Amino acid sequence: MFDKKIDELAKECGSLEESMDFIYVQLSPSIDFSNTGRRGGKKHFSISIMQLLSVFRDLKLNLNKFSSHFTYVESEWRVLFSSYITNKVVNTLSAVQTLPLFGLINKVNHVVNGVDRQFSLKNMKLTEQGIDNVILYLESNLPHNINSDSKVGLVQGHNVIYYGAPGTGKSFEIDKLVTDTNSVRTVFHPDTQHSDFVGSLKPAMQGDNITYRFRPGPFCLALVKASQSPELPFYLVIEEINRASAAAVFGELFLLLDREQGRSKYNIDVSDPEMLAYLQRDAPNALVNNKLFIPSNLSLLATMNSSDQAVMPMDSAFKRRWQFKYKSIMSEDYPQGSIKIVTNEGDYEVSWEHFSKSINKLLSQLNIPEDRLLGPWFLSEDELENESKSRDAIANKLLMYLWEDVLRHTKKDVIFDINNSNVGINNFGQLLAAFYNGSVIFNQSLIDMLTPHFPKLAIDNVS
């Protein structure tokens, strides 16, 4: 029987053949998985360990119905799932994603029981002993102090802010945890107000008449969805949280950020009667004596870039209610792609990884803070796909960021050849014109760091 931790189970299940993703989500005890993506882009789903445990218990209770269906036939398994899976969320999922759910069950059963035959996605042998092994394994991997029969309290919510330089993968880190079905996503900007975030009374047409009704903002939408499935993790994702005055946007909700065992430590009165009526109707589980709290299964995840010129400062009282996770520029994971560098000796094709690291080294020598350097994913693989795309990305994104933001009030010649005798580079417009004209725009220090490592382009390849 499999005797490793559940994250190791997920790794081994993910390594089995077929192209379905299989990921253990550590922040909340659940598995993210996907379809094969053969009919288009992949679709991702999430199932909590508690739900997965419930599924295997259903299989055990109805083993005589399932065990004879060794080979996957979609119509047959769809009926089986619909008839015998008791968890409503998983039952609903099985109606439209029957094969991914079958594959998930098959992989867990295969790995936990150490099945010695080669894995086949559409062939699964279920035995009573095998199912008992899976149930015992899943129960042993539930969080401490959680009864496996409990439906609530399994997930403990967090308030987490991911911060770092542009392109370090802050949003990507969040995407590892969330899907479209288990999250509400919003972006803060300088004009974001409390009513935008929470919701407010808005006019609406009812026939020929104008009426007013409460229109929920992202906070209330997340609260409703989280309270409807308290055993499942749910996420409110706030991109660029410090581009607005976060404390003002949260308002009295600020107090709810204090948590005990994932739930708000304090409850607050809801001052807006329309909002209270909305929550009483759609999220009664988020109210205690008409006082509001954040349930334990609702996590708040945010990103921020402290180097942005338009950011709003956060006061210490607001900040201390969040966990801060720094995303460093140091990474082994870089997008594949290269850019063309023009020098007086010819043109060179340089990898994006080497180019960005070289620029960061020069900027660091000027004591530029790390959160203003170039993250690995400042430019994406799509932007580096070919010479035309990379040329536009360098001109309209990278050069502007370096000239207008990073080096705005300091020595621009640390990167650029502003004393070029052939072209005058005194402003960004001249820099851009020189770049598009094929002139040398980078200084010799940067060029000397790049050219020894990469081949010179043939003249026929130089546009």
pLDDT in tens, 199-258: 988 877 777 888 888 999 999 999 999 988 887 889 999 999 999 999 999 999 999 999
∠ CA 38-376-177, nearest 5°, is 50
> Alpha-carbon distance 81 to 103, whole Å?
13
Instruction: Report the residue count for the chain.
Output: 463
Could you tell me which residues come within 8 angstroms of residue 38 by beta carbon, excluding any fewer than 6 positions away? 19
Query: 210 pairs with which residues across the strands?
Result: 205
Q: Taking a C-beta distance cutoff of 8 angstroms, is the pair 417, 430 a contact?
A: no
User: In this predicted structure, what is the pLDDT of residue 153?
Assistant: 41
CB 373 within 8 A of CB 330: no
* pLDDT above 70 as % of the chain: 91
Cα separation, 56 vs 78, in Å, equals 16
Average of per-residue pLDDT values in the chain: 86
pLDDT of 49 reads 86
- 426-435: average pLDDT: 90
Q: Using an 8 Å Cβ cutoff, are 237 and 159 in contact?
A: no
Distance CA 320, CA 313 (A): 14
What is the band of 352 on the pLDDT scale with cuts at 50, 70, 90? very high
Q: Note if the pTM is more than 0.85.
A: no
Question: Tens digit of pLDDT for each residue in 264-279?
Answer: 999 999 988 999 999 9
Nearest to residue 188, comparing CAs of 265, 250, 261? 250
